[in-house]
């Protein structure tokens, strides 16, 4: 992927970014990859490409610089198409600064955090955004609830480190299924909230992506017998249980 053109910071922000990057470089551990700070009354986020990543994590995550370039390109793709994503305040080699976009969506599903009405509004908003991204020809790559922010009125996709455009219908279908899988980890069943969220994407997504989704769900059904022994051994694992439940949860909407 070619490096996106730089976005220079506004006057006064450059020195703040340099100071924050220096502090992150001196810090230890993975928490030094992303930091929040306030500038001119706005909450901003600074993300940098990790330069001292252990080789095992590099094998798992891939090239950090490439992931950051994809993140920047994904955010710019969203902006070009008028789609909801955080504003870029600065981008350059190894660092990205974006505006705060609200709370991570998964927090709405913590006990007592919010009501069903707000959860439904947030899920409708993000499914509309995801379908619009797909209609524009892109894919997010990892749209889990933690990779979406909610400000009380609008859901915004973040963390485009696996972004790609143009995207294949299969990639778009996997975006949708990954988001629903993340939701099913919290809902634990095909609740009305889950069904509504799934239907919003189906009503707006490109037809080839919907066809690909049907094929992926059929594949998951074929894999179910191999997953059941693992689910019996690890019934506390939400990820495995949600993956096993996903085809059945979609049986009423994906015909």
What is the distance between the alpha carbons of residues 240 and 58, in angstroms, rounded to a whole number?
25
Q: Which tokens go with 8?
A: 């220079």
What is the distance between the alpha carbons of residues 170 and 17, in angstroms, rounded to a whole number?
38
Higher pLDDT, 130 or 60: 130
25-99 and 103-249, same CATH topology: no
What pTM was computed for the model? 0.90
Mean pLDDT of 86-90: 95
Higher pLDDT, 108 or 60: 108
Q: What is the mean pLDDT of the chain?
A: 89
SS3 per residue for 22-84 = HHHHHCCCHHHHEEEEEECCEEEEEEECCCCCCHHHHHHHCCHHHHHHHHHHHHHHHHHCCCC
DSSP 8-state code for residue 134 = H
What is the distance between the alpha carbons of residues 40 and 17, in angstroms, rounded to a whole number?
13
Mean pLDDT of 146-174: 97
What is the distance between the alpha carbons of residues 69 and 92, in angstroms, rounded to a whole number?
9
43-72: pLDDT as tens digits: 999 998 876 655 555 555 668 889 999 999
Fold held by 103-249 = Transferase(Phosphotransferase); domain 1 (1.10.510)
Choosing among 3.30.200, 3.30.70, 2.20.25, 3.40.50, the CATH entry for 25-99 is 3.30.200
Domain limits, the chain: 25-99, 103-249
- Residue where the block lists tokens 């996709």: 157
């Amino acid at each position: 992927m070619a490096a996106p053109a730089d976005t220079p910071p506004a006057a006064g922000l450059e020195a703040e970014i340099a100071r924050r990057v220096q502090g992150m470089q001196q810090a230890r551990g993975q928490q030094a990859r992303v930091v929040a700070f306030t500038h001119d009354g706005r909450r901003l986020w600074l993300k940098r490409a990790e330069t001292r990543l252990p080789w095992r994590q590099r094998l798992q995550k891939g090239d950090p610089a490439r992931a950051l370039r994809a993140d920047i390109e994904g955010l710019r793709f969203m902006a070009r198409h008028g789609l909801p994503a955080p504003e870029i305040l600065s981008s350059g080699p190894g660092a990205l600064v974006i505006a705060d976009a609200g709370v991570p969506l998964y927090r709405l599903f913590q006990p007592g955090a919010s009501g069903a009405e707000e959860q439904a509004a947030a899920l409708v908003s993000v499914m509309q955004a995801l379908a619009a991204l797909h209609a524009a020809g892109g894919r997010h790559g990892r749209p889990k609830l933690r990779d979406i922010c909610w400000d009380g009125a609008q859901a915004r996709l973040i963390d485009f480190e696996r972004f790609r455009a143009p995207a294949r219908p299969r990639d778009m279908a996997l975006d949708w299924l990954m988001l629903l899988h993340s939701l099913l980890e919290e809902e634990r069943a095909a609740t009305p909230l889950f069904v509504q969220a799934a239907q919003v994407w189906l009503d707006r997504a490109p037809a080839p992506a919907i066809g690909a989704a049907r094929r992926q769900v059929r594949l998951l059904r074929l894999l179910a017998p191999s997953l059941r022994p693992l689910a019996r051994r690890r019934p506390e694992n939400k990820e495995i249980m949600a993956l096993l439940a996903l085809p059945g949860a979609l049986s009423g909407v994906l015909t």
